[in-house]
């Protein structure tokens, strides 16, 4: 771990961080004292991750064969057997070389399926997802151990990354482009997909493309602000804001993520992949209708199993810092509402999302 350093004296001086290459946005200035606190927060998070390794039991480990330039996907999951086959197929075709997966005590057969995959290294834990910073401690340890100097894609099992030119270039082409441009990451908007009609009524089988049963999305509105002191973007809006949090929009889910980063063992996500430290990483994404290249994480949360999962997760209380405040949200999901409305659009592909201002393709032809 990095050394402790010396605490700076109280001062009115402010810092903006190091000069940034093209492809970053300027971050708000912060004081030296705030920068010092963020440095210590990052070190505490790395120490937490280092300690959390004792909570993980290795099931299968194929990391010895990883080349230095391997593209790695890191995922923490529980009971995602229905999503896993397509999730693996989708990211293999996109260019992921190896999957590092933490299974949080699944009992649906998904862990056994993962253990049989030659490009998956699997760990098992029975520890609390919530107490492990919603799985971030475990994921950060894997990033420290295996992700250093490699491109790492951090995604949930219900997230599919799409971007302009993905079919032609894939992740390998994207990371090569980012390397050439001196950029160390790629941001994305999380976009909820949903069916037409009540949740829980469509048919879905393992291996199916979730986009075929969840073909609709909200094109907006989305709102974004930069938060101090980390300088991370905070994007809200869309489907869940409209349906579940209209009366309290400040409680709506955060939709900005930085899922793809050329990792360094000194980095740490602070809140899912919504924000990271050092704070310069948060300059990698400037949200919808912005100028930086970005993609979209298609969110398949609303597969038909959602109604039963909502009942289970309400009892487990593992997904929110104050679970009791979200009991009404789970109750609404369990009731199987119809999320469709006449302003919803049918998903057609990354070019459509770019035309709507929800993503921006890399300038492939400018290379």
Per-residue pLDDT of the chain (367 residues; tens, 9 = 90+): 333 333 333 333 444 443 344 567 889 899 999 999 999 999 999 999 999 999 999 999 999 989 999 999 999 999 999 999 999 999 999 999 999 999 999 999 999 999 999 999 999 999 999 999 999 999 999 999 999 999 999 999 999 999 999 999 999 999 999 999 999 999 999 999 999 999 988 899 999 999 999 999 999 999 999 999 999 999 999 999 999 999 999 999 999 999 999 999 999 999 999 999 999 999 999 999 989 999 999 999 999 998 888 777 666 644 455 555 566 787 888 888 999 999 999 999 999 999 999 999 999 975 4
DSSP readout, 327-358?
HHHHHHHHT--B---TT-EE---HHHHHHTTS
Both tokens of 139, joined, read: 């994921």
* Strand duo 72-77 + 57-60: pairing: unpaired
Three-state secondary structure call for residue 83 = coil
CA–CA distance, 124 with 129 (Å, rounded to integer)? 12
How high is the pLDDT of residue 307?
83
CA–CA distance, 293 with 299 (Å, rounded to integer)? 20
How high is the pLDDT of residue 3?
39
Considering the entire predicted model, what is its pTM? Answer: 0.91
User: Closest Cα to residue 56, out of 141, 143, 156, 147?
Assistant: 141
Distances from the Cα of 82 to the Cαs of 110, 210, 352, in angstroms?
8, 10, 28
How high is the pLDDT of residue 25?
86
DSSP readout, 202-218?
S---TTS-HHHH--EE-
- Cα within 13 Å of Cα(292), Cβ side: 26
How high is the pLDDT of residue 253?
94
CA–CA distance, 359 with 295 (Å, rounded to integer)? 5
Exposed, middle or buried, 86 (CB in 10 Å: 0-12/13-18/19+)? buried
How high is the pLDDT of residue 328?
76
With contact defined as beta carbons under 8 Å apart, do 224 and 348 qualify? no
What's the first-to-final CA gap in the chain, in angstroms? 38
């Amino acid at each position: 771990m990095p050394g402790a350093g010396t605490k700076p004296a109280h001062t009115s001086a402010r810092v903006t961080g190091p000069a940034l290459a093209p492809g970053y946005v300027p971050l708000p200035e912060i004081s030296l004292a705030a920068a010092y606190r963020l440095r210590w927060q990052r070190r505490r998070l790395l120490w937490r991750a280092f300690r959390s390794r004792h909570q993980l039991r290795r099931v299968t480990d194929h990391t010895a064969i990883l080349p230095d330039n391997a593209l790695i996907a890191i995922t923490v999951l529980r009971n995602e057997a229905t999503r896993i086959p397509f999730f693996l197929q989708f990211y293999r075709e996109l260019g992921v070389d190896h999957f590092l997966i933490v299974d949080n005590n699944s009992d649906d057969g998904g862990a056994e399926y993962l253990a049989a995959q030659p490009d998956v290294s699997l760990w098992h834990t029975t520890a609390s997802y919530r107490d492990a910073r919603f799985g971030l401690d475990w994921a950060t340890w894997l990033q420290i151990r295996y992700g250093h100097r490699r491109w790492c894609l951090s995604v949930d099992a219900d997230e599919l990354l799409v971007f302009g030119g993905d079919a032609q270039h894939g992740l390998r082409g994207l990371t090569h482009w980012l390397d050439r441009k001196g950029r160390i990451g790629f941001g994305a908007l999380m976009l909820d997909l949903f069916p037409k009609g009540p949740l829980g009524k469509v048919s879905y089988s393992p291996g199916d493309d979730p986009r075929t049963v969840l073909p609709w999305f909200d094109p907006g509105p989305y709102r974004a602000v930069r938060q101090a002191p980390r300088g991370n973007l905070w994007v809200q809006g869309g489907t869940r804001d409209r349906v579940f949090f209209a009366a309290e929009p400040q409680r709506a889910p955060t939709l900005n993520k930085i899922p793809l980063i050329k990792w360094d063992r000194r980095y740490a996500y602070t809140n899912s992949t919504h924000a990271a430290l050092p704070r310069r990483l948060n300059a990698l994404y400037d949200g919808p209708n912005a100028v930086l290249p970005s993609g979209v994480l298609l969110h398949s949360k609303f597969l038909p199993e959602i109604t039963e999962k909502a009942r289970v997760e309400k009892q487990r209380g593992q997904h929110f810092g104050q679970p009791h405040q979200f009991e009404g949200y789970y109750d609404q999901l369990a009731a199987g509402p119809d999320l469709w409305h006449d302003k919803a659009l049918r998903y057609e592909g990354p070019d459509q999302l770019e035309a709507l201002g929800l993503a921006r393709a890399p300038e492939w032809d400018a290379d």
